[in-house]
Amino acid sequence: MRLFVGLGNPGREYALHRHNAGFMAIDAIAADHGFGGWRQKFQGVVAEGRLGSQKVLLLKPATFMNRSGQAVAEAVRFHKLDLDDVTVFHDELDVAFGKVKVKTGGGHAGNNGIRSIAQHITPEFQRVRIGIGHPGDKSKVTGHVLGAFAKTELPLLAQIIDAISHAAPGLADGDAPGFLSDVAMKCPPPKPTKKPKPDTTEEPDDGI
């Protein structure tokens, strides 16, 4: 069995927050792949189904972000899972909006959900990092993370979440590179905006 965990904060008021990108991904996977109904378990809600050749348990902790590790640890212990069986979907400041990356282990980069899970089961679990971009000013980070996606971002957000859900069976089967390739094909990352080149044309000499 694989455990797919989505990070976020429970409650309608948080639904479109950037910090809830993990919840969004898990909800899409459940809806698109015919998972069973959500039920309360492991200090959160769970749904069971299949992705690719794997039986998968989806988990959304209801503990709020900074205590997500409690729910994850309960699920891991109950099902006697290895760290290789755990994948966590979460928002990532250090990844540009529109991009998705996968890594195993490493630091928490200020994400309290990742910090909590690492404290409860060690850091060596797989992460799907859903880029939300950095506001560019450290003092604006909290408001950015805990703010809703802008209306102009919603179409691309929907594409990203759909692409993650579409490619999820490959991830469940252990093919992270294939998963990223499928995501990129369905939702190509936005091209960086080119700055206009300065006009270096010399003014004609009028003799003044």
Q: Output the pLDDT for position 137.
A: 87
State the Rg of the chain over Cα.
20
Domains held by the chain: number = 1
> The whole model's pTM is what?
0.88
Q: Output the pLDDT for position 152.
A: 94
Question: In terms of Cα–Cα distance, which of 161, 165, 98, 103 is closest to 132?
Answer: 98
The rounded distance, in Å, linking the Cα atoms of 179 and 145 is: 25
Looking up residue 113, the CATH number of its domain turns out to be: 3.40.50.1470
Which two structure tokens, joined as six digits, stand for 159?
A: 């594409």
Q: Could you list the residue range(s) of the whole structural domain that residue 175 is in?
A: 2-186
Residue-by-residue pLDDT tens, the chain, 208 positions: 999 999 999 999 999 999 999 999 999 999 999 998 999 999 999 999 999 899 999 999 999 999 999 999 999 999 999 999 999 999 999 999 999 999 999 888 888 999 999 999 999 999 999 999 998 888 899 999 999 999 999 999 999 999 999 999 999 999 999 999 999 998 776 665 555 555 444 444 333 3
The answer to whether residue 150 sits within a structural domain is yes
DSSP state of 78: H
DSSP reduced 3-state for 105:
coil
The answer to whether residue 138 sits within a structural domain is yes
The answer to whether residue 203 sits within a structural domain is no
The rounded distance, in Å, linking the Cα atoms of 169 and 181 is: 13
The rounded distance, in Å, linking the Cα atoms of 208 and 204 is: 11
Q: Output the pLDDT for position 186.
A: 86
Q: Which of 19, 33, 90, 166 is catalytic?
A: 19
Give pairs for 159-164: CB < 8 Å, separation 24+.
159/186, 159/187, 160/98, 160/100, 160/130, 160/187, 161/21, 161/24, 161/25, 161/28, 162/28, 162/32, 162/186, 162/187, 163/100, 163/187, 164/25, 164/28, 164/29, 164/89, 164/100, 164/128, 164/130
134 counts as catalytic: no
Which phi and psi angles does 82 have, rounded to 5°?
Answer: -85, 165
The answer to whether residue 207 sits within a structural domain is no
Which two structure tokens, joined as six digits, stand for 114?
A: 């990742």
Q: Output the pLDDT for position 67.
A: 95
Which phi and psi angles does 75 have, rounded to 5°?
Answer: -65, -40
Q: What is the DSSP string of 117-138?
A: HHHHH-S-SEEEEEE----SSG
The answer to whether residue 33 sits within a structural domain is yes
The answer to whether residue 202 sits within a structural domain is no
The answer to whether residue 143 sits within a structural domain is yes
Query: What's the one-letter identity of residue 22?
Result: G
DSSP E strands, 19-75: 39-41, 44-51, 54-61
Q: Output the pLDDT for position 206.
A: 38
